[in-house]
Structure 1
Amino acid sequence: MPLSQPWTLVSPASRGIGQALARHVLRTTKAPMVATARGDLERAKEEILEGMNPNARERLSMVALDFLDESTIASASQHCADRFPQRTHHLHLALVVPGLLFPEKAPAQIDADNALLTLQTNTLGPLLAIKHFARHLPRKSTSLPDSATDAFANLPLPATWATMSARVGSITDNKLGGWYSYRASKAAVNQITKTFDNHLRTQAGEKAVAVAMHPGTVRTGLSRDFWDSVAKEKLFEADWVAERLMGVLKDGSGDKLRGRCWDWKGEEVPP
């Protein structure tokens, strides 16, 4: 059986943290990448590649994926299956980072349509990504090269499925209330992460783990309405956060990280 070669996934990668993560992974690793966007793939690709060396362009492919449309998730997965046959390749790093926030400060501000959209984007979307992309992760029977080879340079070990969560998804840490739909969507992400990691223990053993990530408050469109209320030292740039999150994934051992939520400092966010 041939040794399996790694590839990476960042979804979505058209803006914000996703774009910063895609650029960081392309810049620091040698693995090919599939990045997704809902539309205008060429524009998204050029923004990711801005300032990169030609090798990055050769390793990056863009695929259409809308987390609100399962058919596009299935199609994106099939594109990856065609490009990276499971006999010779495996998904080694998946960064699944959709995000939507409606800040309901009181129960009267809850809007059913907005709440449903929040849960569809932040929770159901990543869950459907697991449904369609889990098959690409290594299994117990997958033959992997020596981790010291160039193909694994600066990639986390073992293979890692990482979904974007948030500290406000912690029930233990909830002392302020508000943000009902967003909190619920991220608490559900943490539960899904634990459940999926249990599945990976059975299917992949120590070769794949699932984790959730908390990036802090990042200067992106998601948090724009709150920039003025956040202390300067606690409002982070997307590139800075991408580097810190990847450092946590790369430096942490699989057994330590698996099934739990970790912040940009490498500290666990309690359930």
Structure 2
Amino acid sequence: MPPWSLISPASRGIGFALARRVLQTTNGPVVATARKDLGTVKKELLEGLNVDEARLTVMEIDVLNESSIANVAAACKNKFPLNSHQLQFAFVVPGLLFPEKSPAQIDAEDALLTFRTNTIGPMLMLKHFFPFLPKKNTRQTQNDDRESFKGLPAISTVAVMSARVGSITDNKLGGWYSYRASKAAVNQVVKTFDNHLRSMSGDNAMAVTLHPGTVKTDLSKEFWGSVKKEKLFDRDFVAGRLVDVVKNVGVDGRGRCWDWDGKEVSP
């Protein structure tokens, strides 16, 4: 079945770079999402790329609003009928950080917003988009239609953004209570979702989480000064590495967290 890709959100930061990377390295349709200014986002995503702009559709999703997710999923069902298309490559990458350095800095509303953005938002994306993934009995067509699958992972893969600080065994510094906890939680959500895919899709679909490293985006701007120069990455560099990691992990790496360099992040 013909493949398509999803990047959400794609209006800035790593998501923006991922959408451009997928457009450059694959041949199929790409759905990118943003909360607002869809026309501007589409123009910026296509700027300087030698690709058919008809391949890119930008739709409105706010991960804090489940109805917006459901609406886009419904629109995608019309655009990519479930019986004739499959979601082959998906990046779900919303992120929010309040860097609490001590327990006294924890704010209940900020913590709740962090979980709604970093954990519940991706969980709702999985809820509404898992029907687009192939089933066990779906005939895989990569060998029959190599051009459509060019640049895509051999296995339909959903990749959700996590972070190394979500690792409990790696936590030796403390702090960042809400962010750490939300990323640990999203690792569990994706592991549980991958277990579902084992039953529903067998080896035709899988899910992983990703750690991008420290990237020069608005999310990490406050901490650039404390990061070694060689460990502070450009978003385009990271996007390329993450795309390659997802393509290369393979079914043996399913349900786990992988960093930008292809190394596993311990739970």
TM-score band w.r.t. shorter chain: over 0.9
Specify the alignment match of 1:118 in structure 2: 114
Question: Is residue 23 from structure 1 mapped to residue 20 from structure 2 by the alignment?
Answer: yes
Specify the alignment match of 1:51 in structure 2: 48
Among 181, 186, 192, the alignment partner of 1:195 is 192
**Structure 2 spans left out of the alignment, 5+ residues:** none
**Structure 1 spans left out of the alignment, 5+ residues:** none
Specify the alignment match of 2:246 in structure 1: 249
Among 209, 233, 240, the alignment partner of 1:212 is 209
Query: Counterparts of 1:252 and 1:200 in 2: how far apart (Å)?
Result: 16
Question: Is residue 234 from structure 1 mapped to residue 231 from structure 2 by the alignment?
Answer: yes
Cα deviation for residue 142 of structure 1 reads 1.4
- How many positions carry a matched residue from both structures? 266
Contact persistence 2:142–2:154 (CA under 8 A): no
Cα deviation for residue 143 of structure 1 reads 2.0
Paired residue type of 1:216 = G
Among 180, 189, 197, the alignment partner of 2:177 is 180
Query: Counterparts of 1:144 and 1:173 in 2: how far apart (Å)?
Result: 38
Specify the alignment match of 1:13 in structure 2: 10
Contact persistence 1:5–1:144 (CA under 8 A): no
Query: Counterparts of 1:116 and 1:251 in 2: how far apart (Å)?
Result: 35
Query: Counterparts of 2:109 and 2:182 in 1: how far apart (Å)?
Result: 14
TM-score, length basis structure 1: 0.97
Paired residue type of 1:67 = V
The SS at the match of 1:212 is strand
Cα deviation for residue 176 of structure 1 reads 0.2
Identical positions, percent: 61
Q: Which moved more, 1:19-28 or 1:246-255?
A: 246-255
List, as ranges, runs of 4+ consecutive aligned residues in structure 1 with deviation greater than 6 Å.
none
Contact persistence 1:215–1:241 (CA under 8 A): yes
1:6-155 aligned at under 5 Å gives the runs 6-55=3-52, 57-147=53-143, 149-155=146-152
Contact persistence 1:157–1:254 (CA under 8 A): no
Q: Which moved more, 1:225-234 or 1:16-25?
A: 225-234
TM-score, length basis structure 2: 0.98
Q: RMSD of the alignment, in Å?
A: 0.8
